[in-house]
Amino acid sequence: MEFESRIDLSELHEAVTNIRAEVGKIIIGQQNTIDLLLTAIFADGHVLLEGVPGVAKTLTAKLLAKTISTNFSRIQFTPDMMPSDVLGTAVYNPKTTEFDFKKGPIFSNIVLIDEINRSPAKTQAALFEVMEERQITNSGTTYQMSFPFLVMATQNPIEQEGTYRLPEAQLDRFLFKIVIKYPTFEEEIKILQGNHERSVGQANNPVAMVQSVMSAKQLQGLREKVRLVLVEEKILEYIAKIIHETRNSKFLYLGASPRASVALLNASKALAAIRGRDFVTPEDVQELAKPVLCHRIILTPEKEMEGSTADDVIAQILQKIEVPR
Amino acid sequence: MENINFRDDNFSQTRVRRKDNYNKRRSDYRLTLIKTILLYGLILFITNSSSALPSKEIYKNYAQDSSKITVRKPLESKMSVLRKLKDYQYTVQESQVIDTWWKRLLRRFFNWFGSLFTGVGNPTFWKTAAYVFIASVIVYVTLKLMGVDFSGLYRKKNSNEIPYETLGENIHAIDFANAITEATTKKNYRLAVRLYYLKALKELTDHEMIDWKINKTNRSYVYELNSPTLRPDFEQITLQFEYAWYGDFPVDETQFIHIKNQFLTFSEGLSRVS
């Protein structure tokens, strides 16, 4: 006997399959990263990609943006960057004798902020309003961002000189922090094969090889379906217990915010829909707990000195809480 | 070229300034030395002058005062009056109040405690300090061996205690036969499906095919189950349970019978394998 899904998720399933296929033309492996990026797209959340140089953080983000037929802009954050370089600025127009607002590169649908931690705090702070409220206020006028609006930022965890650590308020605005690791040995060989084949075939621009497979309107419709995904009360309690435990853990100096619990809920709904279910299971919550919480919590100095990471503490918390059954 | 000359001028000026400063400091030092020598000379002169004063022989020719001195004494009556006045009572009177045993104990304790700190040269102080140190080390090591965490000692206790039970439902303590009958009688088929699933987990644990833990998900148990004959059936009943329980799908009698049969088939398969 099989239960029939109450929400038609076939269109979403088709879109996910197509996006995976398009990105998979260039990106080898990184299935988990791509799944999390797709989850973020359907959950309407921003993503922080962290990884050492050369693991295709920027390329993955660019390719994923290409699969959705929307506007895309890339901002390279530098130490001398000002908020107006990102948001835009009022410019005097001699013809009209008035100041016109010249929109910055943030006015796009998918914005890739490369090396976000290279810019000082004041430029990072310029993103607070636009990331949370999808709007920019300049000289008393509020400009709404067009749909969809998604920020994909990258940062390098190794190089610390000349970088500015993202403030907690900024980190909390990212749905996920996805840590991209090195490929496996087999994946590395496939990467080399693919690169060699492309260079022989004179196809040196990998982004041009990827086609758009989803429109903004389609994405809007699919997000509406994701919102309808059912969450049983026990699952809500389970999420609340995890978040509450981060606030009571003796290993944590700072626990997760209510925004984190909402993020975990929305992301779990999106992941359930991607997996073809119209309801959330504890499995979805457990799987997303680390990428949702790892950048929102701060370890105590004692725990940090022991060499523990945020992921270790989250794993301990998950071990402690009973899965609803 | 001008720049080079300018640098040379600067250099020579600096040299001249340094030389002037050196000469000034040297003359100051000489002056101070002369002043010191003069001062010592003056002191020596005064000392020698005092030793050269006229001796007592010089004074014997002067007239001497031979008048009688009368010693006056205060009246005894007046003295006794003054002695009785409070202002002239210099001795401290011991308190006439009787101390309680508690006050005496405290006084003795503080006297003893104060004696410890009468000085670092006091041997009692060092002896006591050594005892305190050894006792602290013993207590610390004992508590550490017992696994007591000290990190929370200096931290403010969080007032928000966890308002929920983290202990899991003990599947070994549930009377499944009665619970399933009761749920089926009440036509609560969704609950009956849950109970059947928990029963399946209990049976797998009893047969040591899975390791039951509260934090494990259903998929974890599916991956954990190594038996190739049981795994597809277990995966199927897991799916049924998830749809009925987490998916909140309504389960009618017909559907329940179908799901129940799947659970029974799994149980039979499990008993055959083991």
Q: How many domains does chain B have?
A: 3
What pLDDT score was predicted for residue B251? 86
pLDDT, residue A36, reads 94
Strand blocks (E) in chain B: none
Nearest CA in chain B to A323: B215
Give just the sign of the alpha carbon dihedral A179, A185, A188, A190.
Answer: negative
Query: For position A286, what pLDDT does the model report?
Result: 95
**Domain ranges in chain A with CATH number 1.10.8.80:** 229-325
Note whether B225 and B195 are same-domain residues.
Answer: yes
pLDDT band at B7 (very low <50, low <70, confident <90, very high): very low
Sort out which chain B residues have CB atoms less than 8 A from A323's CB and list them.
Answer: 214-217
Residue B248's closest CA among A301, A278, A87?
A: A278
pLDDT at A163: 87
What is the reported pLDDT for B60?
62
Question: Domain A229-325 class?
Answer: mainly alpha
Gap between the Cα atoms of B216 and A320, Å rounded: 10
Query: What pLDDT score was predicted for residue B49?
Result: 59
pLDDT of B101 above 80: yes
Q: Does residue B98 register a pLDDT over 70? A: no
> Measured on CA atoms in the order B206, A324, A5, A176, is the torsion positive or negative?
negative
Alpha-carbon gap: B258 to the closest alpha carbon of chain A (Å): 7
pLDDT score recorded for residue A293: 95
Q: Which has the closest alpha carbon to A269: A253, A286, A281, A251? A: A281
Q: Note the pLDDT tens digit of each residue in A247-295.
A: 999 999 999 999 999 999 999 999 999 999 999 999 999 999 999 999 9
Average pLDDT of chain B is: 77
Average pLDDT over residues B119-127: 68
Classify residue B239: in a domain, yes or no: yes
Task: Tell me, yes or no, whether B220 lies in a domain.
Answer: yes
Per-residue model confidence (pLDDT) at position A116 = 92
The CA-based dihedral angle spanning residues A191, A193, A196, A202, taken in that order and rounded to the nearest 10 degrees? -90
φ and ψ at residue A177, rounded to 5 degrees: -110, 115
Contact: A1, B258; criterion CB under 8 Å:
yes
Are the C-beta atoms of residues B176 and B198 closer than 8 Å to each other? yes
How deeply is A236 buried, as exposed, middle or buried, from its count of CB atoms within 10 A (0-12, 13-18, 19+)?
middle
Shared domain check, B200 and B130: no
**Which of B100 and B239 is assigned the larger pLDDT?**
B239
Render pLDDT for B53-70 as a digit per residue (tens, 0 to 9): 555 555 666 677 788 888
Residue B36 has pLDDT above 60, yes or no: yes
Instruction: Establish if B62 belongs to a structural domain.
Output: no
Q: What is the pLDDT of residue A297?
A: 94
Q: Which residue of B has its CA nearest to A300?
A: B151
Please tell me the distance from the alpha carbon of residue A219 to that of residue A223, in angstroms, as a whole number.
6
Max mean pLDDT range (B8-17, B95-104, B227-236): B227-236
Give the Cα separation of A70 and A112 in Å (integer).
13
Cis-peptide, bond into residue A148, ω within 30° of zero: yes
Judged against a pLDDT cut of 90, whether residue A225 lies above it is answered with yes
The token duo for A15 is 């879109």
Q: Which of B201, B204, B191, B193 is nearest to B262 (CA)?
A: B193
Which residues on B lie below 8 Å from A316 (Cβ)? none
Residue B8 has pLDDT above 80, yes or no: no
Residue B118: CB partners within 8 Å, gap ≥ 6? B125
Give the number of C-alpha atoms closer than 13 A to the C-alpha of residue B182, restricted to the C-beta side. Answer: 9
Residues 6+ apart with CB under 8 A from A317: A242, A245, A246, A249, A289
| Rounded-to-integer distance, Cα A299 and Cα A310, Å | 7
With 0-12 / 13-18 / 19 or more C-beta atoms within 10 angstroms meaning exposed / middle / buried, residue B195 is buried
Q: Give the span between the Cα atoms of A131 and B33, in whole angstroms.
A: 79
Dig out the tokens for A159 from the structure.
Answer: 């190089």
- Which range has highest mean pLDDT (A33-37, B125-129, B228-232)? A33-37
How confident is the model at residue A266, as a pLDDT?
95
- Considering only A40-54, B95-109, B257-271, which range has the smallest mean pLDDT? B95-109
- B228: Cβ contacts below 8 Å, ≥ 6 apart: none
Q: What residues of chain B, 174 to 233, have a C-beta less than 8 Å from chain A?
A: 194, 197-198, 213-219
pLDDT digits (tens, 9 = 90+) for A51-76: 888 888 888 888 988 999 988 999 99
- Full residue range of the structural domain in which residue B141 is found: 118-151
Looking at chain A, the whole-number percentage of residues with pLDDT higher than 90 is 64
Specify whether the CB–CB gap between A145 and A130 falls below 8 A. yes
**For an interface test with A, which of B150, B243, B245, B258 has the most A Cβ atoms less than 10 Å from its Cβ?**
B243
A1-228 belongs to CATH 3.40.50.2000: no
Residues of chain A with CATH 3.40.50.300: 1-228
User: For B102, what's the count of Cα atoms within 13 Å in the CB-facing half-sphere?
Assistant: 0
Rounded Cα–Cα distance for residues A200 and A88 (Å): 42
Task: Assign B161 a pLDDT band (cuts: 50, 70, 90).
Answer: very low
Q: CA A170, A172, A178 angle in degrees (round to 5)?
A: 100
pLDDT beyond 80 at B52: no
Are B215 and B249 within one domain?
A: yes
CB contact under 8 A, B151 and A247: no
Residue for token pair 């004063």: B53
CB contacts of B249 in chain A (<8 Å) are 3
* Contact: B166, A323; criterion CB under 8 Å: no
Q: Rg for chain B (alpha carbons), in Å? A: 53
Distances from the Cα of B146 to the Cα of B134, B135, B137, B141, B157, angstroms = 18, 17, 14, 9, 21
ipTM of the complex: 0.81
pLDDT in tens, B10-34: 445 555 555 566 666 777 777 888 8
Cβ of B218 and A325 within 8 Å? yes
Give the whole-angstrom CA distance, residue B175 versus residue B181: 10
pLDDT-based confidence at B96, cuts 50/70/90? Answer: low
Quote the CA–CA distance of B256 and B243 in Å, as a whole number.
Answer: 12
Distance CA B237, CA B264 (A): 10
Q: Are residues B142 and B187 in the same domain?
A: no
* Claim to verify: residue B178 and residue B258 sit in the same structural domain: yes
Residue B270 is predicted with a pLDDT of 85
Strands A214-215 and A68-69: parallel
Whole-angstrom distance, CA of residue A323 vs CA of residue B187: 26
Pairwise CB contact (< 8 Å): B247 & A241: no
pLDDT at A219 over 50: yes
Q: Which of B145, B217, B160 is nearest to A249 (CA)?
A: B160
Q: Is residue B245 part of a domain?
A: yes
pLDDT of residue B274: 67
The string of pLDDT tens digits covering residues A188-207 is 999 898 888 887 776 677 78
Q: Is B104 among the domain residues?
A: no
Residue B241 is classified by DSSP as H
- The CA angle A242-A243-A247, to the nearest 5 degrees, is 115
Domain-located, residue B162: no
- Taking CA–CA distances from B171, the nearest residue in chain A reads A325
- The predicted-structure confidence for A153-169, as pLDDT tens digits, reads as follows 999 888 777 888 898 99
Whether A250 and B216 lie within 8 Å, measured CB to CB = no
| Average pLDDT, integer, range A121-130 | 90
pLDDT at residue A105, rounded to an integer: 93
**Given CA atoms A257, A255, A114, A200 in this order, what sign does their dihedral have?**
negative
Give a yes or no: residue B234 inside a domain: yes
How close A306 comes to chain B (CA, Å)? 13
Question: Closest to B158 (Cβ–Cβ): which among A248, A286, A318?
Answer: A248
Q: What is the mean pLDDT of chain A?
A: 91
Q: Which residues of B123-139 are buried (b: 16+ CB within 10 A; e: fewer)?
A: eeeeebeeeeeeeeeee
Task: Provide mean pLDDT across the span A182-193.
Answer: 90
- Whether B139 and B178 map to the same domain: the answer is no
Question: Would you tell me how many other CB atoms lie within 10 Å of the CB of residue B109?
Answer: 10
Say whether A167 sits in a helix, a strand or coil: coil
B247 in contact with A, Cβ within 8 Å: yes
Residue B164 lies in a domain: no
pLDDT at B4: 41
